[in-house]
Amino acid sequence: MSPSTPPPCQAPADAGRHARRIVRVALPVPLHRLFDYAVPECLPLPVIGARVTVPFAGRRLVGICMAINPPDAHHKVKHLDTILDEENIFGFEIFELGKWLAEYYLHPLGEVWATLLPAAARKPQPLRIPGIDRWEITGPATNLGRSPRQRALYETLEQAGGSATMEALKAAGFNRTHLRALAAKGLVGLQQQAVAPPRRLIEAMNLNTSEVPDLTPEQSRVLETLEAQRGFAPALLDGITGSGKTEVYLRHIETVRRSGRQVLVLVPEIALTPQTLSRFRARFGEAAVMHSNMTDRARLTEWLRTKQGQNGILIGTRSAVLTPFKDLGLIVVDEEHDASFKQADGLRYSARDVAVKRARDLDIPLILGSATPSFESLHNALRGRYRHLRLTRRAGGAELPVLRLVDIRGQTLTGGLCETLLAAIGKHLAAGGQALVFLNRRGFAPSLMCGFCGWQARCRGCEWPMTMHRQPPSLICHHCGRRQTLTERCPECAHDALIAVGTGTQRCEATLRERFPDTPVYRIDRDTTRSQKRLEAKLEAIGRGEPAILVGTQMLAKGHHFPDVSLVAVINADGGFISPDFRAPERTAQLITQVSGRAGRAERKGVVYIQTYQPDNPLLTTLTEIGYGEFARRELESRATAELPPFQPMALVRAESVNGDDARGWLSVIAAALGDTVEVFGPAPAIMPRVADRIRYQLMVTATSRGRLHQALKPLGMLKDAPRNLRWSLDIDPYDTY
Ligand code: ADP
Ligand code: ZN
Ligand code: ZN
C-alpha cells in the first residue's frame, strides 16, 4: 500500500484512546438487551434513532442507535458497518412511543423498532421514496467525453437546474445506461436525501360540498362539542348503526384540515372497503391509505409522505397507528370495539390504546366511534375519563329494527332454520324485500359422525371436530387448517352411515336455495370472498335491491351497507353467552347488534329474528328488550364483581409444547416467580387446549393496579432458561383469552 493512500478504516487499536466512540444498538432479535459496537474512525458518530448496520452472529443486521458512549460501555466490541440515516428515522414522537411500547408490552426494544419500520426500511439501504430517484450533477463538464448522448444528458441536467428525477430523464429519452456511464466518470450521482415530490396537499378549497347533508340536531350538538375542545380530549362517539357517525367524523376532519393539520383515521381490517375510501375521497379529493395488503414500496412511500406532512389524511388499519406524522391534529378510531385493532402475535399492541397514548402525548383530540363500544371505552366514558357523546337516532329518517327472540326448543331445524323463520323469510321475499341470514360457522357442517358406530371426524393435530365442507368436498380443521379428503364410508366401521351434524353457511345456503328456488342466494364468508372481485360483484348484485337472500358469517356484520335488507335472522345466539371466555358475551352482543344494524337502513323498517334455546336468558333479553347500552352496564357490573378487565389489568402468559408437561412446568416456574403482589390463575389448559400437534397452557395474571402488574411481570423478559422445545409468550391486555 502506498503511503499516499488514506489509511483503511480499522478497529481502534487502543481502547482507551477510542473510549468515546462506542454506540449502543437495539437489534431485531428476541432478546431483552442492547448491543455495543465501536464506530470506525472513517465514520462520524451516528445520531440517536438512526439506523445502522452491524455484524451479528454471522449476519448483517439493521439496528437502531440508542446511546452514544454509554458510561458502562463494553470496549472489546465489534465494528459497526454503516450508518444509514443522518437523523432519527422515527422522529421524536414515534421514538418515544417505541420506548413506551417496549416497556408497556414488555417486548424487546429491537423488535419494537422492526415493527415500527415499514418492511422496506428494515433493509440495509438509505431511505428514498421508490420510483422517484433524483440525479444531480457532481462533476464539471470539462470531463465529458465525446458521446453525444452523454453530453445531451449532462446539458439536460444543467438546464433543469442541476438535478432531475429519473422519471423526467426517461421522458426526455435517456435511460439508466447513459446515467451509469456519466456516474462512472463521477459527473452525476443519485441524490441521497429522500425528497418526496410535492403532492397536492388536501386543501380545504378542494372540498366537494355538493353532497354534504345538513346535520341532524343530534349530529350538530355532537359536532359543536367536538369543535369546542382543545388539546387532549378523548371522546367516545356512541351512536347506533346508521346514526351518522361517519358524517360527524367527516365534518370534524374538515375543520382540522382547514387548520392545516393532519388526520389519522383507523378502521377495522374488514371495513377498509372501497365504499369507505370513496366516501373520504369524494369529500376531500384525496386520502392516503395504509393496510397490510400493500406492496412494501407503496407502504414506504405513504409512510414517508405522512412523515413529511404530504398526506393530509391517512386512513389505515391497525398498524397505521404507528406511522409518524409531521403535524398530527386528530385521531379517529372507527368501530373502536373491533378485535382487529389488537395484534395477535409479536408486539401484541392494541391500536386503540396506542391511539389514546399518542393523542395524550401530542395533546390532540381523539374520537372513538362505535355503535357497540368496547367495555374498556364505555367504562372510561362512564367514569368521566372520556367525553360520552351519543347519537340515538338514525340519520336520514330510517328506523331501528325490532328484535324478536324465536324459541326453538323442541323445533325441527332445516339448514339451521326453524319453520317459523323460513315462513317469515318467504313473506319478506314475496313483499320484495331482502333477507340476511347470519351464522358464525363456515363450511357445510361443524362436524361429521358415523350413525352406526359413533365415530367422529377429529383433527389429528388438535383433536377438535373437523368441519365438513362441500365446496370442495373435504374435512377442514378450522383451528390449524389441516385438510383431509371426505370419504363416503366410515373409516372405523366401513358403514355407509356418515351424518353431517350441525349447520354451517354452505348447508344453510343449500337449504335456502332448495326452499326458494327463484330467489338468488349470495353466500359471504371467508371461503367465498378470497377474491375481492367476486365479493364486489356480489355486493353490486345485492345493491340492485331485488329480492335476494344473503347468508354469511361476521363478514356481513361489518362495513357494508345493505339498504334493502328488511329481515335479519341470527341462527344461533346461545353459544356466545355460555362460553368460558370472559369477553364472549361482550363480543356476541356486539355481533348481534352490528348484524341487526344491517337491517332497514333505508326506507323499509327492519325486523331481526334471533333463534335461541334459552329465550329466558337474562343476557339475551336485556340485549333484545333494552339494548346494548344496558346490556353493557349490567355486564360491566359482573366484571367488577369478578375483578376482571376493565376493572383490573390482566396479562396472559401462554406456553405450548408437543409434550404438554413442558409447557405446564414452565408456567409453574413463572407462576412461582411472579410473587404474591399479583393474582395468578393457572397454569390451566387453554380453552383450545391443542392446536396443530401442540398442547397449550396458560397463566392468567391480574393485579389491583397496572404498576403492580408490570412490576411483577417485568423480570419475565429476562428469563433465559425456558426449555428449547417450548414456545411461550406474554400478552398484556389480552383480547382473546384462549
Ligand atoms: P354510521 O357511521 O353511524 O353508521 P353514516 O355516517 O354512515 O352512519 O350514516 C348512515 C347513512 O345516513 C349514510 O347513508 C349517510 O350518508 C346518511 N346520513 C348521515 N348523516 C346524514 C344527515 N345529516 N342527513 C341525511 N343523511 C345522512
Ligand atoms: Zn362407523
Ligand atoms: Zn387442527
Domain closes at, from 90, 122, 154? 122
Let me know whether 209 and 180 are in one domain.
no
Ligand 1 atom with the shortest distance to the CA of 391: 3
> Would 480 be classed as within a structural domain?
no
Residue 303's domain comprises 201-395
Who contacts 295 (Cβ-Cβ below 8 Å, separation ≥6)? none
Provide the terminal-to-terminal Cα distance of the chain, rounded to the nearest Å: 66
Could you tell me which residues are beta bridge partners of residue 654?
698, 729
User: How many angstroms does the Cα of residue 467 sit away from the middle of ligand 3?
Assistant: 10
Q: How far is the CA of 534 from the centre of ligand 1 (A)?
A: 27
Give the residues of the chain that fall short of pLDDT 70: 1-19, 128-133, 192-210, 270-273, 558-559, 600-604, 718-721, 738
Q: Do the domain assignments include residue 496?
A: no
Stated length of the chain = 738
pLDDT digits (tens, 9 = 90+) for 578-597: 777 889 899 989 988 988 88
Q: Which atom of ligand 1 is nearest to the CA of 249?
A: 6
Ligand 1 atom closest to the Cα of residue 219 is 23
User: Which ligand ends up closest to the CA of 492?
Assistant: 2
Per DSSP bridges, beta strands 694-702 and 650-657 are: antiparallel
Verify that 558 and 625 share a domain, yes or no. yes
- Grid-cell match 400437534, residue found: 693
pLDDT at 210: 60
Residue 129 has a pLDDT of: 59
pLDDT tens digits, 321-365: 999 999 999 999 999 999 999 999 999 999 999 999 999 999 999
Q: Which CATH number do you get for residue 83?
A: 3.40.1440.60
Ligand nearest to the backbone CA of 493? 2
Measured by CA distance, the residue closest to atom 25 of ligand 1 is: 396
Q: Are residues 171 and 115 in the same domain?
A: no
Q: Ligand 1 atom 9: the closest Cα is on which residue?
A: 244
Ligand nearest to the CA of 691: 3
Number of domains the chain is built from: 5
Point out the ligand nearest to the CA of residue 390: 1
Ligand 3 centre from 489 Cα, in Å?
22
Task: Say which ligand is closest to the CA of 499.
Answer: 2
Q: Indicate whether 313 and 254 sit together in one domain.
A: yes
Rounded CA-CA distance 439/61 in Å is 47
For ligand 1, pick from 247, 267, 337, 399 the residue to mutate: most ligand atoms within 8 Å of CB.
247
Among the candidates 64, 92, 122, a domain finishes at 122
| Alpha carbon distance 302, 325 (integer Å) | 11
Residues 603 and 717 in one domain: no
SS3 553: coil
CA of 592 to the centre of ligand 3 (A): 28
- Confirm whether 432 is domain-assigned: yes
In one letter, which amino acid is 528? T
pTM of the model: 0.84
Predicted pLDDT at 721: 65
Clarify whether residues 320 and 181 are in a common domain. no
Distance 397 CA to ligand 1 centre (A): 10
Are residues 224 and 205 both part of a single domain?
yes
**Residue 176 counted as domain residue:** yes
Ligand 1 atom at shortest distance from the alpha carbon of 597: 4
Same domain, 535 and 557: yes
584 CA distance to ligand 1 centroid (A)? 30
C-beta atoms surrounding 292 within 10 Å: 12
Distances (CA, A) of 735 to 147, 164, 341, 342, 668: 66, 51, 10, 7, 23
Q: Whose CA is nearest to atom 10 of ligand 1?
A: 242
The ligand 1 atom at the shortest distance from the C-alpha of residue 248 is: 6
Kindly give the distance from the C-alpha atom of residue 485 to the centroid of ligand 2, in angstroms, as a whole number.
16
pLDDT computed for residue 502 by the predictor: 82
Q: Is residue 474 part of a domain?
A: no
The pLDDT of residue 97 is 98
Name the closest ligand to CA 241.
1
Pick the residue whose CA is nearest to atom 15 on ligand 1.
244
Cα–Cα distance measured from residue 609 to residue 569, given in angstroms and rounded to the nearest whole number: 5
One domain, residues 674 and 695: yes
The domain boundary, picked from 174, 193, 212, lies at 193
Whether residue 156 is found in the same domain as residue 66: no
Q: Are residues 339 and 235 located together in one domain of the fold?
A: yes
The residue nearest atom 8 of ligand 1, judged by CA position, is 244
Same domain, 353 and 278: yes
User: Which amino acid belongs to residue 459?
Assistant: C
pLDDT at position 313 is: 94
Ligand 1, atom 23: closest residue by C-alpha: 215
Ligand 1 midpoint to CA 279 (Å): 11
pLDDT for 126 equals 81
Binding pocket residue ranges, ligand 1, CB within 6 Å: 213-216, 219, 239, 241-247, 395-396
pLDDT score recorded for residue 15: 46
Ligand 3 geometric centre to CA of 478 (Å): 7
Q: What is the pLDDT of residue 724?
A: 77
